């Protein structure tokens, strides 16, 4: 027998939850066809994939992959979430009572396809090309920074070893084990990531500075970890404004002039923290999910692409 809906049920049925609102925004701003066109040449065609089953629609499996990035879900958890979360079903545009839902094996194989052909890097470049065409990526000044991504220290695995491509480093009084993500972001407008490099944790921040430059810099900003004579010489030789924070030398304090200079540049340099905040705190990517640098680099490239779009979502929505 049908029951009458309560006032609460009626009220919540018309309410959009935060996850649904977020997914609706991303649906509207992601240049789907451009990204699909980059993956399609490598995607199985015909009637069956590697396992002989019907090929999953490329747009559908790509959307599932993005949901994994935003919500930090494993392959089995992603499969379960599709059945469990209505907001996911709306984003994927599927009816679980009619449509076939890709299982965890299909989800895994798609990620391996992206890794095999380095497609996350291609997507990162394509997203930035799209933003540049919309006058949102401005190749002028660059701010550099690096962040630590933790890795499991346990040896309770098949090899009885920690990941050999990860390493330990000391920050302050604490030791960390894992990898580093080095990024270069633009100084004007939203802090869009234009370059990303990964290393093991023990590599010093300044070692990847030149790799983070787009080549047309008018200025370079960074914290005291980048205060290096070689970088300063490079900027002087290439007519780039040197906006790196001064570092106090041993047994010698910073002068008042240097302190004032550091404070002056701090508001510019602080912009580089915004992408890290989105990736690590909003989307929960604080610990690596896979073994080895390359697989985790692929994920960081995809997350960086999505973070760039997320930072300018309101501008793109207004433009649309």
Q: What is residue 35's three-state secondary structure?
A: helix
**Token couple for 298:** 């692929």
What is the average per-residue pLDDT within 94-98?
90
pLDDT tens digits, one per residue of 261-284: 989 888 899 999 999 999 999 999
Give the residue from 82, 79, 75, 122 showing the smallest Cα distance to 290: 75
Euclidean distance between CA atoms 151 and 166, whole angstroms? 7
pLDDT for 1 equals 45
Which neighbouring-strand residues pair with 156? none
Q: What's the pLDDT band for 6 if we cut at 50, 70, 90?
A: low
Give the residue from 293, 273, 280, 285 showing the smallest Cα distance to 199: 293
pLDDT tens digits, one per residue of 10-36: 444 455 678 999 999 999 999 999 999
pLDDT for 10 equals 43
pLDDT tens digits, one per residue of 208-231: 999 999 999 999 999 998 988 999
- 189: part of which helix (H) or strand (E)? none
What phi, psi does 290 have (nearest 5°)?
-125, 170
Give the residue from 173, 84, 189, 193 showing the smallest Cα distance to 138: 189
What is the average per-residue pLDDT within 285-304?
95
What is the average per-residue pLDDT within 140-161?
86
Whether 124 shows a pLDDT value over 60: the answer reads: yes
User: What's the predicted TM-score (pTM) here?
Assistant: 0.90
Q: CA of 85: how far to CAs of 1, 56, 163, 274, in Å?
A: 26, 20, 34, 29
What is the average per-residue pLDDT within 301-312?
98
Euclidean distance between CA atoms 57 and 79, whole angstroms? 16
Q: CA of 195: how far to CAs of 32, 121, 213, 301, in Å?
A: 22, 10, 7, 9
pLDDT for 154 equals 76
Q: Is the four-CA dihedral 272, 201, 302, 78 of positive or negative sign? A: negative
pLDDT for 255 equals 87
């Amino acid at each position: 027998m049908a029951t009458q809906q309560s006032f609460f049920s009626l009220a919540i049925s018309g309410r959009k939850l935060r996850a649904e609102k977020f997914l609706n925004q991303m649906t509207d701003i992601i240049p789907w066809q451009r990204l699909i066109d980059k993956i399609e040449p490598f995607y199985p065609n015909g009637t069956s994939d590697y396992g002989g089953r019907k090929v999953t629609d490329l747009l559908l499996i790509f959307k599932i992959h993005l949901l994994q990035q935003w919500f930090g879900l494993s392959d089995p958890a992603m499969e379960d979430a599709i059945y469990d979360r209505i907001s996911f079903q709306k984003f994927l545009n599927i009816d679980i009572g009619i449509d076939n839902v890709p299982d965890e094996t299909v989800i895994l194989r798609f990620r391996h396809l992206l890794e095999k052909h380095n497609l996350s890097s291609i997507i990162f470049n394509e997203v930035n090309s799209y933003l540049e065409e919309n006058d949102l990526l401005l190749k002028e000044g660059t701010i550099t920074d690096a962040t630590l991504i933790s890795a499991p220290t346990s040896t309770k695995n098949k090899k009885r070893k920690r990941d050999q491509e990860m390493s330990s480093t000391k920050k302050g009084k604490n030791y960390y084990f894992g990898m580093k993500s080095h990024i270069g972001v633009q100084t004007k407008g939203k802090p869009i990531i234009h370059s990303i490099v990964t290393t093991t944790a023990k590599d010093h921040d300044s070692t990847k500075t030149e790799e983070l430059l787009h080549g047309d810099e008018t200025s370079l900003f960074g914290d005291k970890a980048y205060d290096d004579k070689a970088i300063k010489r490079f900027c002087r030789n290439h007519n780039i404004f040197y906006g790196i924070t001064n570092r106090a030398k041993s047994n010698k304090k910073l002068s008042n002039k240097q302190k004032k200079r550091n404070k002056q540049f701090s508001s510019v340099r602080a912009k580089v923290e915004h992408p890290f905040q989105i990736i690590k705190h909003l989307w929960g990517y604080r610990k690596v999910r896979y073994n080895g640098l390359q697989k985790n680099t692929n994920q960081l490239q995809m997350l960086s692409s999505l973070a760039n779009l997320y930072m300018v979502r309101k501008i793109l929505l207004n433009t649309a």
